[in-house]
Every structure is written in C-alpha cells, then in structure tokens.
Structure 1
Amino acid sequence: MKFIGIALIIYVCLILFFRFLGYLIIGMNFWKRIKKKPYQKDYRCFKNKGIDIQTGRIYSNSNLLYSYLFHINGREGRRVVVLVKGHGCFAVDYQDIIIQLIEQGYDVFTYDVTGTGNSEGRSPRGYQQWIIDLEAALKEIETQYKDIYLLGHSLGGYAATAVLQTTNIPVLAVVAVSSINSGTEYAKYLYDCIPNIFTKQIKITMRNYEKKKFGKYAEYTGLSGINSTDVPVLVIHSKADKMVPLKCSIAGYEEQITNSFSKVINLETGGHELLKYSNVREIIIEFFQKHL
C-alpha cells in the first residue's frame, strides 16, 4: 500500500509539473513586453535609400498600435504589402525585403504588435494576438490602398494565413515564410513524438489558455485559413529550420491543403531566416507580381 501511495503522489506531481510547463512556455514567450533592441531603433538603412517612413497609430481593441508606412516620397502608391513580423522582430530586421519591395513599386505597411515595441499593451498574451492586430491593420490600410498583399514571417506567417478566414477585406495574394501552423503546434509536436499522459498535459494546458484568452481565435490555424479561401497563397519553408521544424509548420500540412491556388516550396537549406536570402526574396516578388 505504501508503494502505491508513493506512486500515486509521483503521478499527480508529474501531471501538475507538465501542466505548469505548458503555462511556463506561454509565459516565457508572451507574458512580458517585447522591447526593441538598440539596432532595431535605427532606421538609417531606409533613409539612406531615399525611403520615407510615415508613422501612425491604429486601434486594436483598446490598445493603440504604432504603425509604419515605408514608401517613396512623391510616388503615388496603389499597391501595398502588409508585413506581419515574427516574434521579437521589427522593421529593421526585414530591411532587405522592405527595400526590395519598394524598388519594385510596392509600399510596405507594418506595425508593432500589442505589447511590443512602441505599441500599447502590457504584453502580447499569446499567438492569437498577431491575428487580432492584423485584422485591425487591414481595416486601416483598406482605406488607403486598392491592392493589398500579405507577407508574414514565422508567427507573422501564421497570422497572415489564419486571418484569411476572419476578414472580409480583399487580399490579392499571401506569402507565409518559415511559419508555424497553430498556437499549440509545438505542444502537439511534442505529444506526437512522445505520446503519453504527461506530454498531453502541455497541449491541454496551452489549449485551454488560448480558448480562455482568445475565444474563437484559438480555433484558427494557418492551414484552416488557407483552405477557407481561394486567395493565392505561397508557403516557403526550409527543411533545415530548427526554430520551426517542418512538422510544426504550415508546409508540413501540404497534403491537407485544398486551396488550388496555393503553392508550397520546401527548401533544403536556409534555416529560419529565409528572408535574408536574395533568391527567396525574388520568389516572393515574382509571386506577388503574378497577382496584380
């Protein structure tokens, strides 16, 4: 009996530990403000190219988000790419693709997600905040531009695809690069690799948290967003990506994509920061130009 009692205590402690681990994963990523590093505040890379940066504010729920419109002064903008940044990333981290898009005649609009950079909010709270803030950004940009494109990287790619099933604002094309498929994808991946009652607790905890904090948004995935529309979507991922392994990515669900206007490109090399490579940027621009 003593042995059974000890085993039961260990079992309960392990259950509680893995549930705590689920909260810990969310907390480490989303329960504190994400501040800009010194280099992320330096916009000379754009100004040196003659690019003007128009700052503004947009409301997302009760928070004011700090927005940035990159464009050439005196050039009438008609086409805009809404750039949805990854976790902990800001405009300077995407300077190469922003500059190249502007050189090809696109304006680029982006913003600091709730609880990050210059935007209001104590913290982002979770993955789904990227979708909510993108909805607000699309409402803002629709009043200024006719042709709207979406480009999302990493967590931003998850939002750029998931938002397709939540917004009525017309989007001409979407590119998702190095993108996770869902908020609980890492927990699902862990459970699939080591399926047992303990790893399942992480997934349950994270899932319950998302439902409580974000309601219907907890149901949205990159895959469901792509399949909910006929908007052309390009998914680019690297098999060498260690931050978002292929099985956690939208690209990992390629066989389940039913949108006939979508395309998945799996690269052998490149890691997570694919937008730093000129060949990837050329693929993105070519895809956008096919859908004018």
Structure 2
Amino acid sequence: MKEHLWIASRRQRLSAMLHLPEGFKPGTPLLVLCHGFTGNKVGYNHLTLHLANFLEKAGYGVLRFDYIGSGDSDGDFATDTSVAGWQEDLTNVLQWVDGQEQFATSPVVLYGHSLGGLVVLTHEDQIERVVARIVFAPVTKPVANFRERIIGPELWQKSLRGEKIENFFDRGFTLYSQFVKGLATQDYDPISAASRLTTPLLIIHGTADVVVPLAGSQELYEQYQAPKEFVVTEFDHGATGKQAEFQQIIGRRLAGLLADAVPVAV
C-alpha cells in the first residue's frame, strides 16, 4: 500500500511516499530512503522506487521523500539545495516518524545513495530512533568529489565567486552558490562523523562507479567502529541493469543489521 504525504521542513513541504506492507503491525521496521544529488524519491533509473517496492513486498515499511527543491517537494533546486538543508530535511522527516503512533515501536533504518549517503552518515540522531544505516556509493570526500568530478574545477571556481552554474555533469540543472560555498566552508567529513556512530552499517559500492570513487567507501569501512559489512560489486553508480541483485544484497542483510541493532526505547 502506498500513500502520499506532505511533511513540513524549512517552512515548506516535503513530498513523501509511504509504503506499508500487508499486515503491517506495531514494531515493523521502517526504512527511510534518502536520494542523491539531482535525484528524487523515484531515484536514478527508478532505483529508489524499485527498492521501496521490493522492501514493501518483503514485509518492511518504507518512507521515501524528496528534499526541498527536488522532485515534487516545494522549493527550487537552484536556491534550496545544500547539504545543511538536506540534513535539516532528514531530521524533520524523522521527527514526523517519531510523532506517528503507528511507528512508535518501529526500528528505523536509514538508507542513502550517493550524497544521500553523506546525509545518512552525518545525521545526528537526537531522538534515538535510528538502529542501522545502509549507504550505496556514498559521497565521503565531498569537496574533492564535487570539485573534480561532479561539478568540475571550472564551474566549482565560478560558483565560489558567487556566480550561477548550469549543465554540470551532463545534467540540465541550475545551481546558485550556496551549495558549493557550503561544501567549501562547512568541512563535511562523513568518515569522521561515522566513526563515532554505534549503529550497524552496510556499505555497498561498485567498481564501475565513475561518479563517486570506491576508495572513500573503503576508508569508511576501515574506520567504522561498530558492526559493519562492505559489499564490493561490479555496479556502476546506479546499479544499472543490476537492480535486482542490488535489492537482494540489501534484503539478505537486513535481518542481520536489525539483529545487531539496539532496540528502540519505548
């Protein structure tokens, strides 16, 4: 069963889709899915939608959402996209979950793809609802990754000067300087942040990924101190042509992640 929701964030509305399996009952785990840069809650080649449908059929609850300025949410990508804004959006989504009686005893698992992985790794769980994390091709070196690969050195410098940039990474998007300036000044370090986490972590990364380097996930795995697993595959950045295999990797490991997790306090 799917239900569309609006969730308040940054004085605007996030568009979210809730998937509940047949026979949903209190205590059923809920996965919150975080998309990547220039993405949306449907996902790259429908990656997020297909994962949500797979998890729903497997008996899990799923909540996927668009950040402010992305997908069907309020706002504008060019002016509203920033890591700080995305972090605030995820916090507001989890506060919404925490306020729903039907999820009062549900353990929450965070999933993030690409830049969504950075948001998942740096999320400070002040309400203590998150019991495990899954990241697929996470951005772990945001300045280097965006400057050298995703935006490119020329547009990066242009944005640092406060100018609008367009058509980066073969995408027809426009972006003002708040995004690049935020990366350059805030020193986002998901590897360091994650090293302080105590929740079980599953990392998935493909050797054919030309967007986000595999080496960052390797370093993340080495420094992570809690229960962890690192699955290296032949996937590209969106598991193109291999989404069924991608889903099976997550499906086979979810029970173990939840078994290693600390139960939700009620």
Superposed pair shares fold, TM > 0.5:
yes
Q: Take 1:158 and 1:256, find their aligned partners in 2: how far apart are those partners?
A: 17
Paired residues, number = 227
C-alpha distance 176-203 of structure 1, shift in aligned 2 (>3 A): farther
Q: How does 1:48-197 map to 2 (within 5 A)?
A: 52-72=1-21, 75-76=24-25, 78-87=28-37, 88-91=39-42, 93=46, 94-123=48-77, 124-144=80-100, 145=103, 146-163=106-123, 165=124, 167-186=126-145
Deviations 1:210-260 (A, max 9, x none): 6965899x343321232121100111101210121224xx40424651323
Whole-Å separation in 2 of the counterparts to 1:255 and 1:285: 20
Contact map agreement 1:67 1:109 (CA 8 A) in 2: yes
Find 2:246's aligned residue among 264, 273, 280: 280
Taking structure 1 as reference, are residues 62 and 214 closer, same or farther at Cα in structure 2, changes over 3 Å only? Answer: farther
1:16 corresponding residue in structure 2: none
Could you tell which deviates more after superposition, 121-130 or 104-113?
A: 121-130
Is the contact between residue 59 and residue 65 of structure 1 (CA under 8 Å) also seen in structure 2?
yes
Q: Residue type of the partner of 1:110?
A: R
Name the SS for the 2:14 alignment partner: strand
Q: Is the 8 A contact 1:81 1:106 kept in 2?
A: yes
Instruction: Pick closer, same or farther for the CA change 1:261–1:188 going to 2, 3 Å.
Output: farther
Please say which structure displays the higher CA radius of gyration. Answer: 1
| Alignment pair present for 1:263 and 2:229 | yes
Q: Which residues of structure 2 form unaligned runs of 5+?
A: 162-176, 260-266
Q: Which amino acid aligns with 1:273?
A: G
Whole-angstrom CA distance in 2 between matches of 1:141 and 1:233 = 21
What are the Cα deviations for residues 41-73 of structure 1, in whole angstroms up to 9, with x where unaligned? xxxxxxxxxxx2212221212121111101235
CA contact (8 A) 2:109 2:132 kept: yes
CA RMSD of aligned residues (A): 3.1
- The one-letter code sitting in structure 2 at the alignment partner of 1:81 is L
Q: What percentage of residue pairs aligned between the two structures are identical?
A: 22
Unaligned runs of 5+ in 1: 1-51, 191-197
Counterpart of 1:235 in structure 2 is: 203
Structure 1 or 2: more helix by fraction: 1
